Amino acid sequence: MKLVPSICPYCGTGCGMLLIVKDEKVVGVEPWERHPINEGKLCLKGWSAHQFVHHPGRLTSPLIRKNGELVEVSWDEALDFTADKLKGIVAEHGADAVGFLASAKCTNEENYVLQKFCRYLGSPNVDHCARL
């Protein structure tokens, strides 16, 4: 068993945690006592942050609906599909017809890139999950 330092993925606070890894699987978390953000504390979500890692219901590849069924596809196919759909919607209905939601689970840099992409498309519709 080993402890692996990490950051909680659930919100923008960024609490430090130690992943408990046994037989190459994450089986639990402990608060990181010397981490400057949380100083050894975790909220309820943080204490359960390990539970999704090996969950059988976790999505590990993109899905596209084909003939009414969700089908696993490669990232290249999913990105091409999404880009084509976005281009088509903007061409047919204008940039106001698309919008983007950022997330507290992303880094500041990822959220910055998302809003830049939104503005690149010409859309003013960018928001954040904290306002939902």
How many Å apart are CA 123 and CA 102, to the nearest integer?
A: 14
**Residues contacting ligand SF4: total by CB under 6 A:** 11
Q: For residue 115, give the DSSP letter.
A: H
Structure tokens at 122: 């010409």
Structure tokens at 21: 């890894």
Q: Which residue is nearest to ligand SF4 (CB)?
A: 46
Report the residue from 19, 32, 35, 46 that binds ligand SF4 according to the rule CB under 6 A: 46
Report the residue from 3, 6, 14, 78 that binds ligand SF4 according to the rule CB under 6 A: 14
CA 18 to chain CA centroid, Å, is: 20
- For ligand SF4, the binding residues (CB under 6 A) are 8, 10-11, 13-15, 38, 42-43, 45-46
